């Protein structure tokens, strides 16, 4: 281990100081081994970085960030070192891959150069991935049904609570129509949007009505039944059956009723709190028997046709899944025996995804199975119980939301700066000057610190460095030393820490994002998502960092990452076109298509990100943007909190006219110029209400007004014009 060193330059006094008389009692900083400087010049750093990158490759980055684990089969690293989306999963051809950096360029470039002029952060939606997830889920169940000679079919529903975005729900209904794919609603607004969307779906698609219900909810569900939508009212509480019976008779509608069973099988993970006998929802076997009796007395037992259960999200293993399905199948067969006209077993949600690529059943972030294993476990469990009870095989329904929508959405944001941990370089004369004014105890700590470093006694070195810093802090609080001395001692101790390998290598990267708005599950429940740079992956990351957002909140940071890491490998944020992108450094959060958008609030009045919808195309860049919506403006988020931006602007405008007329009076009689100045200031104020709350690059032009809405149907595009602006965009 080389001893601590300090470069000795030409002697000069620190700014604002004169050298005191030399103090021979203080040793000069210890010289280092020949050719080993303490501080590294920028040229040397660049050379080292270049050398390390020469032995780096995109495949090494893919392994480092586990992209081949959590990203398969939809994301990979291309030969340019950028993350690419594979819209058709394993069926994606090489020329069909979509480079995410090219999407960012298309989205953020000004309109006059062919871009959309949108501001980051941005959510990139990939409907092709959404379609592939639906098809893959259906295919997995179709294969399991065929291989097990199961005598009914599978038809799923999408729980709209996972992502209620209009275009997401409409895509699912459209893509799922060939499979009779339906929707699940848990509230009256969700039921209204589900009814509207399913009017364009398959008439056999199920509309599952879950959640706590009042008379209005049940009446609305009965209206849906009257409109020939395949609606099932699932009872979450026993008393709901009384309302169903009463209202259905009043409205002359024959309902289809299901119950949510409260199973004994319990999911012990973080997402299993809704399972077990003490779960929030569902009826016990005793309550289900009372429901059967009430329906029988009302002459409506034939309306009882569906059994639903849910043992929790992110079910970790197929053994736990099969256990729950078997218990529910037993209840289903008992209901058949009691005279109910059972048709469907709804296994609820729980189909998990692999957030960290570990394929482990012992983590809330992963699952130990794929779609095929999941479907096979369900079909086998239902078939075994029904065959043993000699009961006709029911239609199998699942409410998979997370597994359907998570992969299709990517949140892309920019790291705008990072904290620097480099210590200031000092000459020996500067060091003597700064240390000369310290107390004898502090000077003794300095001597001991130097001696410990020479002997390689790391623990003692840390002890004396801490004592030296504390002594100086105490002196600073008493006003005995200045800021320059305090900073010099901090820098000196940092050099010692680096020499013995004890300095904290983790930097803070400041990102143009609100954690609370865009990644609320991280803050709220500790949910981890894969976060990686979307470019420069052909270069070795030269730093480790945590991410700090824009909000004025100490919780607004990401300091836990997949793989149990407390920091993330990152690249230096460079200027002048580093990485081929003007020094900009873009990160992507993946697998966040479920829940995050609906849960996000407006902490610090940061609204949601911009949103673009990107489809695969056969043009030279492999994609086209079919929809682009700028994020909420400052005025929009103010309006959410009951403020009135129009009145606020009028107040400020009057203030401008009141306080800026002096500038007009002193403008050498040029009244037109003065009025122009007032008008310019008022216009500038107006623009702030229309722009997004997020930071804008200094070179950026005025952001796109939120009233702008860009939309083009895919049919309007020519395959050869995939990244060219359409007429509206021009």
Q: What is the pLDDT of residues 61-73, one digit of tens each?
A: 999 999 999 999 9
Spell out where 180-334 has E strands: 182-185, 206-209, 230-235, 257-260, 304-308
Residue ranges making up the domain that contains 637: 56-126+409-420+509-658+687-697
Percent of the chain at pLDDT exceeding 70: 81
Same structural domain for residues 543 and 462? no
**pLDDT for res 426:** 63
Predicted local confidence at residue 621, as pLDDT: 82
Nearest to 692 by CA among 637, 616, 628, 650: 637
Higher pLDDT, 433 or 304: 304
Domain membership flag for residue 494: yes
Position 8 scores a pLDDT of 29
Whether residues 440 and 561 share a domain: the answer is: no
Closest Cα to residue 125, out of 590, 550, 674? 590
pLDDT at 227 over 70: yes
Residue 552 a catalytic site member: yes
Identify the pLDDT of residue 14. Answer: 37
Question: Is cis: bond before 121, omega within 30 of 0?
Answer: yes
Query: In sequence order, what are the residues at sequence separation of 6 or more whose Cβ sits closer than 8 angstroms to the Cβ of residue 250?
Result: none
Whether the ω angle into residue 388 lies within 30 degrees of 0, i.e. cis, is no
108 phi/psi in degrees, rounded to 5: -95, -20
> Does 454 share its domain with 489?
yes
The count of structural domains within the chain is 3
The single residue of 162, 199, 472, 552 carrying the catalytic annotation is: 552
200 and 142 in one domain? yes
Q: How confident is the model at residue 31 (pLDDT cuts 50, 70, 90)?
A: very low
Residue 116 has pLDDT above 50, yes or no: yes
**Could you tell me if residue 23 is inside a domain?**
no
Is the pLDDT at 147 greater than 80? The verdict is: yes
Q: What is the pLDDT of residue 711?
A: 37
Q: Does residue 47 fall inside a structural domain?
A: no
- Pairing state between β 531-533 and 585-589: antiparallel
Q: Are 142 and 62 within one domain?
A: no
- Residue 397 above 90 pLDDT? yes
Question: Is 548 in the same domain as 564?
Answer: yes
Is 8 among the domain residues?
Answer: no
> pLDDT tens digits, residue range 467-500?
888 888 888 888 888 887 888 888 888 878 877 7
CATH of the domain at 99: 2.40.37.10
Residue 183 and residue 261 share a domain: yes
Return the bridge partners of 346, or none.
308, 397
Instruction: Give the pLDDT score at 277.
Output: 64
Assigned domain for 363 exists:
yes
What per-residue confidence (pLDDT) applies to 189? 96
Is 199 contained in some domain?
Answer: yes
Q: Which of 272, 279, 225, 277 lies closest to 248 in space, CA to CA?
A: 225
Q: Of the ranges 368-372, 376-380, 712-716, which one carries the lowest mean pLDDT score?
A: 712-716
What is the C-alpha radius of gyration for the chain, rounded to an integer number of angstroms? Answer: 32
Q: Say whether both 119 and 155 belong to one domain.
A: no
The more confidently predicted of residues 570 and 273 is: 570
Q: Cα separation of 168 and 152, whole Å?
A: 29
- The answer to whether 56 touches 23, Cβ cutoff 8 Å, is no
Tell me: do 350 and 447 sit in the same domain.
no
pLDDT at 442: 80
Task: Look at residue 114 and tell me if it is in a domain.
Answer: yes
Residues 315-332 have pLDDT tens digits of: 999 999 999 999 999 999
Same domain? 92 vs 150: no
Tell me, yes or no, whether 384 and 442 share the same domain: no
């Amino acid at each position: 281990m080389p001893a601590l060193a300090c470069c000795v330059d030409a002697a000069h006094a620190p700014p604002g100081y004169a050298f005191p008389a030399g103090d021979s009692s203080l040793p000069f900083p210890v010289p280092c081994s020949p050719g080993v400087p303490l501080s590294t010049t920028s040229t040397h750093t660049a050379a080292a970085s270049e050398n390390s990158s020469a032995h780096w490759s995109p495949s090494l980055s893919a392994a480092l960030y586990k992209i081949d684990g959590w990203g398969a089969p939809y994301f990979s690293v291309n030969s340019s070192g950028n993350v690419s989306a594979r819209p058709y999963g394993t069926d994606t051809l090489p020329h069909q891959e979509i480079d995410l950096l090219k999407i960012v360029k298309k989205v953020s470039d000004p309109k006059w150069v062919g871009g959309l002029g949108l501001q980051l952060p941005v959510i990139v939606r990939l409907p092709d991935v959404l379609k592939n997830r639906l098809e893959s889920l259906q295919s997995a169940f179709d294969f399991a049904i065929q291989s097990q000679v199961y005598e009914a079919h599978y038809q799923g529903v999408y729980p709209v609570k996972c992502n209620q975005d209009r275009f997401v729900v409409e895509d699912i209904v459209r893509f799922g129509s060939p499979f009779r794919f339906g929707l699940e609603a848990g509230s009256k607004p969700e039921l209204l949007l589900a009814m509207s969307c399913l009017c364009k779906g398959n008439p056999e698609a199920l509309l599952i009505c879950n959640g706590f219900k009042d008379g209005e909810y049940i009446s609305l569900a009965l209206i849906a039944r009257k409109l020939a939508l395949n609606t099932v009212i699932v009872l979450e509480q026993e008393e709901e059956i009384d309302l169903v019976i009463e209202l259905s008779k009043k409205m002359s509608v024959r309902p289809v009723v299901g119950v949510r069973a409260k199973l004994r099988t319990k999911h012990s993970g973080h997402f299993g709190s809704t399972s077990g006998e003490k779960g929030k929802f569902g009826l016990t076997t005793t309550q289900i028997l009372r429901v059967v009796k009430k329906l029988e007395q009302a002459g409506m037992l034939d309306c009882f046709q569906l059994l639903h259960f849910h043992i929790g999200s992110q079910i970790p293993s197929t053994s736990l899944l099969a256990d729950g399905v078997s218990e529910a199948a037993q209840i289903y067969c008992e209901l058949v025996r009691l005279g109910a006209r059972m048709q469907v077993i709804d296994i609820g949600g729980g189909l998990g995804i692999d957030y960290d690529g570990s394929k482990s059943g012992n983590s809330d972030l992963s699952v130990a199975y794929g779609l095929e294993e999941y479907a096979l476990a369900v079909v086998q469990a239902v078939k075994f119980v029904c065959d043993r009870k000699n009961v006709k095989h029911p239609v199998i329904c699942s409410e998979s939301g997370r597994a359907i929508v998570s992969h299709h959405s990517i949140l892309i944001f920019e790291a705008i700066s990072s904290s620097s941990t480099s210590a200031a370089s000092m000459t020996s004369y500067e060091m003597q000057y700064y240390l000369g004014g310290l107390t004898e105890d502090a000077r003794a700590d300095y001597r001991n610190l130097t001696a410990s470093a020479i002997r390689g006694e790391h623990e003692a070195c840390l002890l004396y460095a801490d004592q030296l810093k504390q002594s100086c802090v105490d002196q600073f609080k008493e006003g005995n030393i200045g800021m320059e001395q305090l900073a010099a001692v901090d820098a000196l101790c940092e050099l010692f820490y680096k020499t013995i390998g004890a300095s904290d290598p983790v930097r803070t990267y400041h990102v143009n994002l609100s954690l609370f708005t865009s990644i609320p599950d991280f803050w709220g429940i500790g949910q981890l998502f894969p976060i990686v740079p979307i470019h420069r992956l052909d270069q070795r990351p030269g730093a480790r960092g945590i991410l700090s957002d824009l909000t004025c909140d100490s919780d607004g940071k990401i300091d836990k990452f997949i793989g149990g890491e407390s920091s993330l490998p990152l690249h230096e944020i460079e200027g002048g076109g580093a990485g081929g992108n003007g020094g900009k450094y873009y990160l992507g959060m993946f697998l966040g298509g479920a829940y995050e958008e609906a849960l996000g609030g407006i902490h610090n009045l940061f609204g949601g990100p911009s949103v673009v919808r990107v489809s695969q195309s056969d043009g030279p860049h492999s994609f086209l943007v079919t929809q682009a919506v700028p994020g909420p403006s400052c005025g929009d988020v103010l309006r959410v909190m009951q403020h009135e931006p129009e009145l606020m602007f009028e107040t400020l405008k009057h203030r401008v006219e009141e306080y800026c007329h002096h500038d007009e009076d002193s403008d050498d009689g040029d009244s037109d110029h003065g009025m122009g100045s007032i008008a310019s200031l008022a216009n500038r104020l107006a623009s702030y209400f229309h722009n997004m709350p997020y930071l804008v690059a200094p070179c950026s032009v005025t952001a796109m007004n939120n009233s702008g809405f860009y939309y083009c149907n895919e049919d309007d595009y020519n395959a050869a014009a995939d990244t060219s602006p359409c007429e509206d965009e021009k």
